[in-house]
Chains A and B, each alone.
Chain A
Amino acid sequence: MTGQGEVTTGPLPIGQFVRLVKQTVVRDPLFKNQALRGEVTQWKQYASGHTYFSLRDQDGQMRAVIWKGRCTIDPSIKEGSEVIVLASLDLYVQRGEIQLNVERIEPVSVLGELEKRKRFLVEQLRNEGELDRPRQAIPLIPQHIAIITGAGSAALSDMQRLIENRWPGLRRTIIGVLVQGPRATEEIVRGLAAARQLSNPNIAKKRGEPPVDLVIVGRGGGSPEDLWAFNLEPVARAIIASPVPIISAVGHESDVLVSDLVADLRASTPSDAIERVVPVLPELHYLLDEFEERLSVASRRQIHDSKQLLSILHARLRVAPMAGLNRAKANILSLASRMKVATHQSFSLQATRLAHFEASLSAIHPQRVLERGYSMTQTSDGTVLSSVKGLEAGQNIILNFADGSADAEIKNTQFNEGEK
């Protein structure tokens, strides 16, 4: 075991080495109380009272810190401010990073030169109507995506991983470019030009692949100056000119760049771009399967319903003549009963008449006549006699009375006066 302070002969522990470097750095008078000029970026004031930022210009940059209460800070200083600082070099041992300890800070101008140029460009594009121009629709199923980003970057591997999770076999062409540094702008523009060529159907045909129909251009997070290429006019113009939709996917959530303002879709990060345009294949299959199922179930039900309707019609058709018959039968029955009633009425009328008739008849019945004292005379062969004509003396006759009869013999006959 090697205790602290012990003399060692082996390799130097890194912490001790960094501490040695720090001693050298802080002792050098050249690095003490230097007046430095640059642009403020990544300006962050913490609740603790310390302020951290980077001081940069076109050629270089360095982290800087203003410890709490070390100096007054002009409230106009912010991201992009051009400042002059009085600072000494220090080394943060835990991270091995060199930083400036700032003793004084003064703004040169409120807006940094870059920020000013960006604003100018945005204003210019707005006046040209490019910010309000209609955007191209993102295809639901991209047939060929071109991704323009840093080769081997963390952003690219994030995007690749996400695509593998969502739709592993999705066709894509990755164009590796420099996304920061002096050549970034030019390379991004050339990458966009290559993607544009890949979107040409003739060229795509020669290459034996579908034309590019969607382009993602972007990079992962970084300092504003790292992302700066996406704020420059050549990149903005190349995006505007694209015949296929372009997604700008630069930096973090909070970074808004000129490329974001002119693209057809702004993604907050490269991963966000993938999530917004690459569908999840199993979900698509599930959706189609569901449609297939619903289509077949609904059609079958429709056919079943039609068949059922048909059989109902058929059944009704079959019973239709019966219904006519039944109706006729009912008609007849009702007629019959009406007839019966009518006949009965007629009968009873007749009966009444008959009774009257009988009554009047009975008044003139022979019996009634006999009862009143008359008698009826018949010959022995039963002929009722109503005249004396033809009767002879000695002829036997029968006299009929109400309660009996008597045999008699004619003595003589004579006509009434005037008769003969």
Chain B
Amino acid sequence: MTEKIPTYTEAIQRLEAIVALLERGGMGLDETLKLYEEGADLLRLCKTELAAAEGKLNELQLDEIETQLKAEEQ
């Protein structure tokens, strides 16, 4: 089975866990800072992923895309 778990999903899940941990409280300064940095990195990663999903809209007929793909094969 090729179960591809997208990194975005993983990032969001980890973020939830980190925020929950921090909100529960009771941890040392060291651990707090480590978690905060990890969370901030994950947020950056998610935002990058969102930005990367934006792009061109190609609207092509079957023949056109096949011609393009054939040209790229050579």
Contact = CB atoms under 8 A, between A and B. Distances in A.
Interface size band for A: 35 or more
A141 interface: yes
A172 to B, nearest CB: 6
A298 B22 contact: yes
Given A169-B55, A295-B19, A176 B32 contact: no
Contact of B6 (A139, A175, A302): A139
Q: Could you tell me the dominant secondary structure of chain B's interface residues?
A: helix
A137 B1 CA distance: 10
Interface in B1-58: 1-6, 8-9, 12, 15-16, 18-19, 22-23, 25, 27-29, 32-33, 35-36, 39-40, 43, 46-47, 49-50, 52-58
B4 A292 contact: no
Interface stretch (A33-41, A202-210, A311-319): A202-210
A44 interface: no
A171 B56 CA distance: 5
Q: Could you tell me the dominant secondary structure of chain A's interface residues?
A: helix
A298 B28 CA distance: 13
A294 B19 contact: yes
A302 B27 contact: yes
Contact of A171 (B9, B29, B40, B55): B55
A137 B9 CA distance: 11
Contact of B52 (A143, A176, A288): A143
A175 B43 contact: no
A284 B11 CA distance: 13
Interface string A185-208: 001001100100110000100110
Given A299-B32, A299-B35, A136 B3 contact: yes
Given A209-B55, A302-B22, A306-B32, A291 B39 contact: yes
Contacts of A306: 28-29, 32
Contacts of A261: none
Given A141-B6, A299-B36, A174 B58 contact: yes
A176 B59 contact: yes
B6 to A, nearest CB: 4
A158 interface: no
Nearest to B72: A206
Nearest to A206: B72
Contacts of A299: 22, 32-33, 35-36, 39
Contacts of A172: 57-58
A295 B33 CA distance: 11
A167 B55 CA distance: 11
Interface string A208-240: 011000000000000000000000000000000
B43 to A, nearest CB: 6
B43 A140 contact: no
Interface string A141-180: 1111000000100000000000000010111111111000
Contact of A207 (B6, B29, B36, B72): B72
A303 interface: yes
Contacts of B9: 140
B61 A151 contact: yes
B46 to A, nearest CB: 6
A305 interface: yes
Contacts of B12: 140, 287
Given A298-B19, A306-B28, 9 more contacts: A134-B3, A143-B53, A170-B54, A203-B73, A210-B55, A288-B47, A299-B35, A299-B39, A306-B29
Interface of A: 134, 136-137, 139-144, 151, 167, 169-177, 187, 190-191, 194, 197-198, 203, 206-207, 209-210, 281, 284-285, 287-288, 291-292, 294-296, 298-299, 301-303, 305-306
Interface of B: 1-6, 8-9, 12, 15-16, 18-19, 22-23, 25, 27-29, 32-33, 35-36, 39-40, 43, 46-47, 49-50, 52-62, 65-66, 68-69, 72-73
